[in-house]
Amino acid sequence: MIETPQITPDLDLEKYFTDVGLGELVAPSKARDQSVNELVIADTYKPELKDLYRLHRFILDFKRTTVLEFGVGWSTLVMANALAINRGKYHRAVANLRRNNPFEIHAVDNERNYLEVAKARISATRLAGVHFHCSTVEMTTFNGRIATQFAKLPLISPDFIYLDGPDQFNVQGSINGINTAHNDMMPMACDLLRFEHFLTPGTIIVVDGRGANARFLRCNFQRGWTYNYEERYDQHVFYLDEPPLGEYNKRQLNFYSSKT
């Protein structure tokens, strides 16, 4: 299993984000917490600095180049910032890899209002390489199991995937009367299972919370994933630990592991 970013007691998260140019996260991070049954809220979610720090470090520490995000939020801004840092360091090295969407983040969501808020944050920072995709979500089945899927996904080959969407209360249709739009139900996205075999060795998936969905993925993935649940952060981490597919993927893996 890969060594994931950790938060030490002496880490000043507010200073960290201020130093990387994301000081605007600090004030809203102090907003009230959401109640247990407050699953549908009118306002956007507050930034959780611990979770956002780990996302930022995942992209920096593992030299990620292309991000697919399910569900937009403060995370979109944070990961775009990390990709911009990587672009400054590695744009020449990545030019020699088979990465045709270098230093891009593609964020897909089924809530247009959240997308508009995320777009406004990106516009204010002038970060490049951020692409937003609005898609409906529908109830479906995967291998006979009831799940949800986006109707349309961006055409990219991500090396980092962040699963924190879709909104379970805006899903179309039902299967045998089942729909996730109930407070006692839970997200159950199967999108990653459908295109698992297009992912390249070295891919990292982070699932934020969504324990039932993470277990569903783990039970149905077919390839050589390592998995770890980090209870301290309530995050599930999958790493595609397989031999390279060929020369291009070998170069990609060497790039991730190199010290430069």
Q: Which residue in the block uniquely carries the two structure tokens 């080959």?
A: 157
User: From CA 88, how far away is CA 184, in angstroms rounded?
Assistant: 45
What is the reported pLDDT for 259? 83
Is residue 223 in some structural domain? yes
pLDDT-based confidence at 147, cuts 50/70/90?
very high
Domain hosting 161: range is 49-257
Query: What's the pLDDT tens digit per position in 71-82?
Result: 999 999 999 999
Neighbours of 141 (CB within 10 A): 12
User: For 2-46, what is each residue's pLDDT tens digit?
Assistant: 999 999 999 999 999 999 999 999 999 987 665 555 555 445 688
Q: Is residue 249 part of a domain?
A: yes
From CA 198, how far away is CA 227, in angstroms rounded? 19
Residue 65 has pLDDT above 60, yes or no: yes
| Six-digit token string for 217 | 């993925």
The total domain count for the chain is 1
Decide if 99 is inside a domain. Answer: yes
In a domain, 250, yes or no: yes
pLDDT tens digit string along 175-220? 999 999 999 999 999 999 999 999 999 999 999 999 999 999 999 9
Antiparallel, parallel or unpaired: β 145-150 and 137-142: antiparallel
Q: Tens digit of pLDDT for each residue in 229-248?
A: 999 999 999 999 999 999 99
Task: Determine the angle formed by the axes of helices 49-61 and 74-94, rounding to 10 degrees.
Answer: 10
In a domain, 127, yes or no: yes
CATH of the domain at 195: 3.40.50.150
Q: What angle do CA 70, 76, 80 make, to 5 degrees?
A: 125
Q: pLDDT digits over 99-143, tens only?
A: 999 999 999 999 999 999 999 999 998 899 999 999 999 999 999
Is residue 62 within 8 A of residue 158, CB to CB? The reply is: no
